[in-house]
């Protein structure tokens, strides 16, 4: 199953970019378990004047960039909380069901519109109840994807 992380905005911090690159390298060189490749699509932030317009514009960009994906997981602070093991189990189950590609959607500063977090998503996932800076949320997401892959492959990285 191919994973696409589609995110609004570009990372500006070299430290965040380096951490993400390190985990992406680990993902690509890890054990083959049917989840690869993992790619990141960075999309521009909307310049619309109003929040609703920005959200709609960015949602359209995310949907367009992931139009060929069978499954959409939308990240939102009001989403479902999962442990790392539960997230791994979720991804593994979708892989085993024959899902060919899944998208993980990271919104811009205004978040996602209800149309995307509701019926537009197969899963709305929260990384936690605290609001995270955009770049840090992406670091956490990429690490959790790597962790999920190691859990599914029996690698000792996850020691819970």
The pLDDT tens digits of the residues spanning 6-44 come to 999 999 899 999 999 999 999 988 777 889 899 999 999
Phi-psi region of 154 (alpha: psi -120 to 50; beta: other; left: phi over 0): left
Q: What is the DSSP string of 7-39?
A: EES----HHHHHHHHHHHHHHHHS--SS---EE
The pLDDT assigned to 118 comes to 78
Reported in sequence order, the residue ranges of 82-148 that DSSP labels E, i.e. its strands, are: 101-106, 123-126
Structural domains for the chain: 2-153 (3.40.1280.10)
Three-state DSSP at 64 gives helix
pLDDT over threshold 90, residue 120: no
- Of 133, 157, 137, give the one whose Cα is nearest residue 147: 157
- Cβ(5)–Cβ(106) below 8 Å: yes
- Of 16, 160, 157, 42, give the one whose Cα is nearest residue 105: 42
The pLDDT tens digits of the residues spanning 56-74 come to 999 999 999 999 999 999 9
Quote the pTM value.
0.93
- Cβ(13)–Cβ(133) below 8 Å: no
């Amino acid at each position: 199953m191919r994973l696409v992380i589609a995110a609004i905005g570009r990372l500006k911090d070299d430290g965040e970019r380096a951490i993400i690159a390190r985990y992406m390298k680990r993902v690509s060189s890890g054990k083959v378990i049917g989840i690869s490749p993992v790619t990141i699509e960075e999309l521009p932030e909307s310049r619309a004047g109003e929040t609703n317009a920005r959200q709609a514009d960015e949602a359209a960009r995310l949907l367009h960039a992931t139009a060929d994906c069978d499954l959409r997981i939308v990240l939102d602070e009001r989403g479902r909380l999962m442990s790392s093991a539960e997230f791994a189990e979720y991804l593994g189950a979708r892989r085993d069901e024959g899902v060919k590609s899944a998208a993980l959607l990271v919104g811009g500063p205004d978040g996602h519109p209800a149309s995307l977090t509701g019926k537009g998503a197969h899963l709305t996932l929260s990384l936690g109840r605290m609001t995270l800076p955009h770049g840090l949320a992406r670091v956490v997401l990429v690490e959790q994807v790597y962790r999920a892959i190691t859990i599914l492959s029996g690698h000792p990285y996850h020691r819970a």
